[in-house]
Amino acid sequence: MKVAVVGATGLVGSEILTVLAERNFPVTELIPVASEKSKGKEIEFKGKKYKVVTPSEAIALKPNVALFSAGGETSTAYAPLYAEAGITVVDNSSAWRMDPTKKLVVPEVNGNVLTAADKIIANPNCSTIQMVVVLKPLHEKYKIKRVVVSTYQSVTGTGVKAVDQLMNERAGIDGEKAYPYQIDLNVIPHIDVFQDNGYTKEEMKMIKETNKIMGDDSIRVTATTVRIPVMGGHSESVNIEFENDFDLNEVRQLLAAEEGVIVVDDPANLKYPMPKDAHGKDEVLVGRIRRDESQDKTLNLWVVADNLRKGAATNAVQIAELLSQKGLI
């Protein structure tokens, strides 16, 4: 199994390499790919060193699968070329997510949609991934009518520049900025660019992607996405209105039984999910499970996951694992 990692020198690309090694994905040859300026650099993977090549050079090496995490521009330019060469692409950018001809996949939720014809597969937005993993068993049991979500997103979601800004501000160093405002000791209710409707692109991603992954446009979703000065993971306050009523104990049982979900819900002993606990984990943590007392058939949840792991790298690798299991790569 020849595996190309496009964007291997970036934050998510590095995490993909870690996840591939941890999960013992059957890599016989690794092809680390990055821009021209990184060409020739060495990447270590499972004790062996591999030289970084450019996206064009990697096509000629004919990998079975290419895990892209190099931004929308690179994906738009190169993913079709890889697909034409018979290489299956799992893309972590937003370039293909809402393309009606491309599948948007979270393996635990809709992995069954993948076929041999899918040569470009989109990896969803990090915030959407962790939410739909939790929504799936609840929708199947109670039928979701509406979701109101507010996010509390880690600076790692923006990248190395944002992490540097936070640490520089914390240390009193004046450096390059990823955000228009100070992030340390602050909260910025603005992720990605603003749209004509007053929502940001990140908020609209959560709305549209949820419907596409769940395969149900009747679920109404509204989102407010916020950047906070933490590392380790994204948190979400999720309010879900159902068509049918629920029992709280049954909700906990359904979530605990769901693959990739860990219930951390013991308020009497101050146990609830936090980003520092999600850091380095592949599972989605869920807690603060309680009934919304202002409205019938409505549930409140607190959902936390490592945005670089399940929110990006792990989900991409899990898609590749599923393709491998189905004999599609």
Task: Assess whether 139 carries a catalytic annotation.
Answer: no
Secondary structure letter of residue 181 according to DSSP: S
Q: How far is residue 95's CA from residue 75's CA, in Å, rounded to a whole number?
A: 7
Separation in Å, CA 249 to CA 84, 110, 246, 254, 291: 50, 26, 9, 9, 11
Instruction: Point out which residues pair with 147 in neighbouring strands.
Output: 221, 240
Contact 255, 263 (CB under 8 A): yes
| 38 labelled binding-site residue | yes
Catalytic pick from 139, 190, 234, 279?
Answer: 234
CA-CA distance, 14 to 20, in Å (whole number)?
A: 10
Cα separation, 34 vs 96, in Å, equals 20
Catalytic residue at 234? yes
The answer to the question of whether 37 is labelled as a binding residue is: yes
DSSP state of 261: E
Burial class (CB in 10 A: 0-12, 13-18, 19+), 295: exposed
User: Does 325 appear as a known binding residue?
Assistant: no
Q: Is 5 annotated as a binding residue?
A: no
Structure tokens at 102: 């491309």
Q: Is 11 annotated as a binding residue?
A: yes
Question: 201-214 and 126-142 are packed helices; what angle lies between their axes, rounded to 10 degrees?
Answer: 40
Task: Find out whether 295 is annotated in a ligand binding site.
Answer: no
DSSP 20-61: HHHTT---SEEEEE--GGGTT-EEEETTEEEE-B-HHHHHHT
Cα atoms found within 13 Å of the Cα of residue 317, Cβ hemisphere only: 25
Q: Does 237 carry a binding-site annotation?
A: no
The catalytically annotated residue of 126, 139, 190, 279 is: 126
9 is in an annotated binding site: yes
- Token representation of residue 208: 């549209």
Residues with a known catalytic role? 126, 234
Residue ranges for the known binding site for phosphate are: 97
Residue ranges for the known binding site are: 9-12, 37-38, 97, 153, 227, 307
Residue ranges for the known binding site for NADP(+) are: 9-12, 37-38, 307
Residue ranges for the known binding site for substrate are: 153, 227
